[in-house]
């Protein structure tokens, strides 16, 4: 057993962090495996609980560990890599999907631009507009992990039967409607998980999310779909590649 050196210049909590990270790298602590309790670490390495707590809190904040209330602390799975070179705003599109009914849809509802200022801006509507949209919420699991949560907003004036098509598992959107997405504009920022997102993504509220907003346009420049996708920052790595 590797011991913690109390005479080292390195703080004790840093030494414990490094020990835990080494065990993760070596496979001693596997992905989604519960690690020893704070008390176990205290007894194993003869260190104080505040020292253990600081090490675990920092590893949790950086995404190497995650906590489940009432269950303990677990090892995070390796991050899913999303290559920006291959990523397009069409990635999470309902309209551009060849098999939209295969998406893990968890909710569909009708909303109005009047209640969602973002839709007014995205679709160039009047501020008091009552244009109706299909709001389609779906998740993107990867194995046993829930990686992202998306909401697609589609104007019912252009796609009046989109909800019925999805509920009937009809993969006919591309052939049925002429306004197929042709171009996209995307923005990216970092936000914190709220209560609802935490439930779907199996996270603690307040954890960071990577949010990507996409507006999809038809060939004529008509906005046809607005998508907000939130990726778990602890399970996602964005890879940028550019050539001069």
Q: What is the pLDDT of residues 77-112, one digit of tens each?
A: 765 555 555 556 677 888 887 777 667 888 999 998
Residue 142's H or E segment, with its range, is strand 132-142
Cα(first)–Cα(last) distance of the chain, in Å?
A: 50
- The C-alpha angle 80, 85, 86, rounded to 5 degrees, equals 70
The alpha-helical segments, DSSP class H, found in the chain are 12-26, 38-45, 49-61, 117-122, 162-167, 173-176, 195-201
Share of the chain above pLDDT 90, in %: 26
The answer to whether 138 and 150 have CB atoms below 8 angstroms apart is yes
Over residues 205-215, the pLDDT tens digits come to 888 888 999 99
Nearest to 146 by CA among 190, 200, 100: 200
Integer Cα distance of 173 and 95 in angstroms: 6
239, 84 contact by CB (below 8 A): yes
Residue with tokens 């996209």, as numbered in its chain: 184
**pLDDT value at position 219?**
86
Express each pLDDT in 137-163 by its tens digit.
Answer: 998 766 666 788 999 999 998 888 888
Contact between residue 82 and residue 238 where contact means Cβ atoms under 8 Å apart: yes
In three-state secondary structure terms, 206 is: coil
Q: Does the pLDDT of residue 172 top 50, yes or no?
A: no
Predicted structure pTM score: 0.67
The more confidently predicted of residues 15 and 170 is 15
- Under the banding of pLDDT at 50, 70 and 90, the label for residue 42 is very high
Q: Which two tokens stand for residue 147?
A: 């990686």
Q: What is the mean pLDDT of the chain?
A: 82
Domains for the chain: give ranges and CATH numbers: 12-75 (1.10.10.10), 80-239 (3.40.1410.10)
High-pLDDT (> 70) share of the chain, %:
82
């Amino acid at each position: 057993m590797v011991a913690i050196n109390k005479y080292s210049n390195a703080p004790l909590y840093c030494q414990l962090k490094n020990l835990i990270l080494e065990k993760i790298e070596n496979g001693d602590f596997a992905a989604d495996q519960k690690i020893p309790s704070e008390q176990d670490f205290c007894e194993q390495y003869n260190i104080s609980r505040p020292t253990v707590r600081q090490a675990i809190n920092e590893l949790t904040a950086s995404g190497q560990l995650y906590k489940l209330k009432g269950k303990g602390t677990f090892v995070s799975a390796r991050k899913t890599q999303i290559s920006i070179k291959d990523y397009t705003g069409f990635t999470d599109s309902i309209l551009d999907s060849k098999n939209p009914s295969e998406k893990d849809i968890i909710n569909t509802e009708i909303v109005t631009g009047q209640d969602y200022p973002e839709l007014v801006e995205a679709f160039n509507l009047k501020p008091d507009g009552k244009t109706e949209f299909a709001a389609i919420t779906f998740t993107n699991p990867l194995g046993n992990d829930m990686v992202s949560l998306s909401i697609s907003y589609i104007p019912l004036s252009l796609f009046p039967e989109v909800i019925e098509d999805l509920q009937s598992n009809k993969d006919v959107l591309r052939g049925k409607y002429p306004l197929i997405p042709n171009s996209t504009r995307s923005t990216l920022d970092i936000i914190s998980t709220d209560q609802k997102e935490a439930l779907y993504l199996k996270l603690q509220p307040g954890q960071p999310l990577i949010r990507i907003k996409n507006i999809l346009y038809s060939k004529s420049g008509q906005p046809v779909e607005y998508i907000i996708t939130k990726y778990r920052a602890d399970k996602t790595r964005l890879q940028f590649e550019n050539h001069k």
